[in-house]
Amino acid sequence: MSGAAESAAGRVGEPAEGPVEEPGNGPVDEPGDGELLARVFLTRVVEPGDETGGRWVRELGAREVVARLRAGGRPLPGVSGRRWAGLLARAERADPGRDLAFARDVGARFVYPGTAEWPRQLDDLGDARPVGLWVRGPADLRMWALRSVAVVGARACTEYGAHMAATLAAELAERGWVVVSGGAYGIDGAAHRGALGSGGATVAVLACGVDRPYPRGHTGLITRIAEQGLVIGELPPGDHPTRSRFVLRNRVIAALTRGTVVVEAAHRSGSLVTARAAGRLGRHTMGVPGPATSGRSAGVHELLRRDAVLVTDAAEIVELVGDMGELAPERRGPVLPRDLLQPAARQVLDALPARGTALADGIARDARTTRDDAIARLYELRALGYVERHGEGWKLTRQAVIPADSGSEAS
C-alpha cells in the first residue's frame, strides 16, 4: 500500500490528502478517498443489514459516523449503552488500510454507493442497504446486475432439483442473463455450475469475506466463479459466516436481481426469505413445482399458492423479468383433426352421442341450430369421415371417437 493510503488510514473520517489506490480499480477520486476509507471501516463495525447504522450513514454521512465512533463519547441515537460499547470495541480494531491492502492481494476491490460500479437497485433496501460490497472478479457488477436473475433453493436438494436448477441456469445464461445465487451446496451450486457449464455469467453472493470460500467444499467452484464471474459480499476480508449473516445476505440477492426463482425449498428454507424479500422489493418471485408429496418442495408450493408465479423453463422466466415482447412460446397439446373443423361443424359434431344414432332434429336442437343447417353440416362431416348415416339417423365413426386420455375433452 502507498504511504498516502497508510497515512489516510490512520485518520478515517477526514478527507485524504493524496490519491488512494482502490484495489483493482486504480485511483479513486469520486466521491473521495475519505468516503472509501470510512465505508471500509464501517464494514468492520456495523453488521450487514443494520438499519440503525444505515440511518446514521444516511443522516450524518459515513465519515461523520466514523468520526463519532473514533471519538467515543455519547451513543448515537437508537442504540443502548451496551450496544454502543460493543461498536466502540469493534471500531478500535478496525483498520481500513489493512483491509484494502489484503483485498488487493486476493484480487478484490470495494464498491460503494456513489461510485460507477455500484448497482443502484440496491438502494431500494433503504437503510438496510449495504455500506459497500467487496467484489472479486473481472466483470462490472453494475452492468451484470442490470440483467440478472436469482436461482436459489434447498441445500439438501433432490436429483430433480439439482437438474432443474442447472438446466434453468444454463438456459438463462445462453439467453444472455446473469445467474445469481449464494454459493451454497445443493440448488445454489447446481445453478452456478449450470451457468458456467454453458459458458455464461454467474455471481456468488457470500455471507463471509470474499477471500474465504464457504462452504469449504465449494472452494474450487467459488474460485472458478471469481475467475469467470463475480464473487461479492458485504463482510470484510477474513470475516466468517453466521446463521444471521446468511439470512441477511439473502436481501442482497433479492435486491440485486430482477427476480428470484426458488427451485426446491422446505417450509423453513432460507431461500424463501430471499423470495419474500424480492416480493417486498417489487421484484418478480417465481417457483418451480415439485412432486406434491415432496417435503423439499412444500415451501415452493406454499409460495406458489400466494404470490409467486409457476415457471418450468428459462423462456417462462424471461417472459416475466425480460423486456416487453420477450414472450414464452404458447404451450398446447398436439393438434387433432377435429381442431381443424369450422366452429359450426364442430358444434354439430359435438351434438352427436358417443354411442348409437341420433335424428337430425335432435342433433339440430343440441347444436342450437336449424334442421337444414344441421343436415348440411352432417353431410360435410360425412365427407370428412367423422359421421355415417344409418337410415334416418346419424352416428359417429371410429375416427371421431377420441380416446379419453387424449386430453381433448372439455374441462
Query: How high is the pLDDT of residue 12?
Result: 43
Instruction: Render pLDDT for 49-99 as a digit per residue (tens, 0 to 9).
Output: 999 999 999 999 999 999 999 998 899 999 999 999 999 999 999 999 999
CB atoms within 10 A of CB 12: 26
Closest CA to 237 of 149, 109, 393, 368: 109
- pLDDT band per the 50, 70, 90 thresholds, residue 400: confident
Phi-psi region of 407 (alpha: psi -120 to 50; beta: other; left: phi over 0): left
132 in Cβ contact with 224 (< 8 Å): no
Q: Taken in order 109, 114, 116, 119, is the CA torsion positive or negative?
A: positive
DSSP-derived secondary structure for 372-400: HHHHHHHHHHHHTTSEEEETTEEEE-GGG
- For CATH 1.10.10.10, the residue range(s) in the chain are 337-406
The helix (H) or strand (E) run that includes residue 26 is: strand 26-28
The helix (H) or strand (E) run that includes residue 406 is: none
Query: How high is the pLDDT of residue 346?
Result: 87
Whole-prediction pTM: 0.76
Q: Which three cell numbers stand for residue 192?
A: 452456478
250 in Cβ contact with 274 (< 8 Å): yes
Q: Which three cell numbers stand for residue 296?
A: 423439499
Range with the poorest average pLDDT among 133-147, 238-252, 332-346, 376-390? 332-346
Query: How high is the pLDDT of residue 31?
Result: 42
Q: Is the pLDDT reported for residue 30 higher than 70?
A: no
Query: How high is the pLDDT of residue 408?
Result: 40
Distances (CA, A) of 396 to 67, 232, 350, 353, 410: 89, 67, 10, 8, 18
Q: Is the pLDDT reported for residue 15 higher than 70?
A: no
Q: Is the pLDDT reported for residue 332 higher than 70?
A: no
Q: Is the pLDDT reported for residue 410 higher than 70?
A: no
Fold classification of 137-321 (topology level):
Rossmann fold (3.40.50)
Query: How high is the pLDDT of residue 289?
Result: 96
- CA 391, 392, 397, 402: dihedral to nearest 10 degrees? -160
337-406 has CATH 3.40.50.300 classification? no
- For CATH 3.40.50.450, the residue range(s) in the chain are 137-321
